[in-house]
Structure 1
Amino acid sequence: MSDERLKRVAEPPSPGAAEAARPEDGPDRADNSISRRGALKVIAAGAALGAAASCAPEDAARSAESAHEALSGFEPLPPSNPLAAGTAADPDLLAPVVPWEMVLTDEEMRLVAALSDVIIPADERSPSASEVGVPDYVNEFVSAPAHTEQLTRLRGGLAWLNREARERFGAGDFPALTVEQQHEICDEIRFEPDAPAELKPQARFFDAFRDMVSTGFWTTEEGMRDLGYVGNIPLPSFDGPPPEVLEQLGLSGEDLA
């Protein structure tokens, strides 16, 4: 190795050269590691949040906003309640918003509503799934950026339902069928182990859709009343388990004392 090359290897790079050699911090980084600039932002945000703990409520809210801006690079929306501003990564649970656009078309929403009502129709105990907003829940769920697989499965299943409606009954689409005709199609895919081999993908779609509809329906007030769920209700006092429950368990009030 020549003396000149040895000299270049031995000499440390100048500060300017090191700065030029460092890749830009930003979304195009090749790996998932945190950048130097990002690490400094997190440290600054942590310091701001630590200081907020000993501040007055209004000062704590401002400190949280400063931390949010340091992490994200943009100013947060003003919270509906300054005392519930949260940290840099927390949503405002008192004024929830969906931060992504809804992607299902009007035609797809008609299909979702029709299929939802096949699964949970109206009866003497409760309204149908579509009447309590389940299609909106499904739309919000599959529109989430992390749920592209669920969106693809849903759209494929809905397209299959429309095709079956046309080929079997000459209808324009699945919602145009009678309830009996809709059931005839869905009965073939309602339970994957019993579905024909060629309809296994459609049965998996129906199973996933049924889960979404069930979740959306039984987390509404109407759905919880349908279940007879009595939780989430504050009690002025608690007198202990009912006597019939204790009797079934072979216990008495003295056993709980």
Structure 2
Amino acid sequence: MRLKSSKNTILIYLLFTLIFSSVIWVLTLNAPDAGRIAGRMFGYGIMWCPTLATLVTLKLTGRKMSGLAWKLGEPKYLWNSYFIPLFYSLVAYLIIWSMGWGHFYSTSFVTKTAHEFGWDNLPHWFFIVIFFLMNGVIGMFASISTALGEEIGWRGLLVPELAKKMGYTGVSLTSGLIWGIWHYPLLIFGNYNNGTPAWYGLICFTVSITAASFIYTWYRMKSGSLWTGVLLHASHNLFIQGFFTPVTEQNIHSPWYIDEFGAVVPIVTIFLAIYFWSRRKELNDVAK
């Protein structure tokens, strides 16, 4: 039996996302001391659960994977999707550094990382530049490989289905909250936070990801391509988790302000969300 309605599609997708994700949640929470290899495996696993749910949903609703928004769209939207997270990350961390909630840069991180590359003799400032460029280019491929797993589901399937039932604001809020809540098991029961109280990290993370959803949804609708979501997501993870947070010298105040679980990134992202919300009239229907 094929279930065609958008309501059924959304419910099926969310159900199977929950089922598949629950397996990885249990495995992850059962391995609190997971090291680099196990952590990477679980990380890849959880981020590809939305794609597995999408495959099942499309099968049950009689649709094909090729029917998702695979076209690249206009290059400017792809470039913007890469640079926007870099922009708001830079603004957020400039605020953090200038306010003394963290400092640029972490000598221990730079020394350790330079040693891993075998570049111990490079001046620290020069290594930071090289590391930033390498991370922003080579690291992007690894980041895309995980972001794609989520975005096939969130922006490839869920957003267009929601757009059949509600406008841009509703789609952004709904998909953003679903996306955020999906992270809650690891936020609450795992160690996926900054070390602040769980309630604080949840608030900051939820605000950050819901605000970001206004950006992701705008570009998905405007470009008709799920690749904008992939690049936005990959760039966000890459620059916040892979560069700005580790390069920051932390102090006792830092956990409350840095990363996705501190206050600054959500506040900066809210301003961008308001900006894209103000441009909502530019949007056409989501491309099928």
TM-score (norm 1): 0.25
Q: Which has the larger radius of gyration?
A: 1
Of Structure 1 and Structure 2, the greater helix share is in: 2
Q: Which has the higher contact order (CA 8 A, sep 6+)?
A: 2
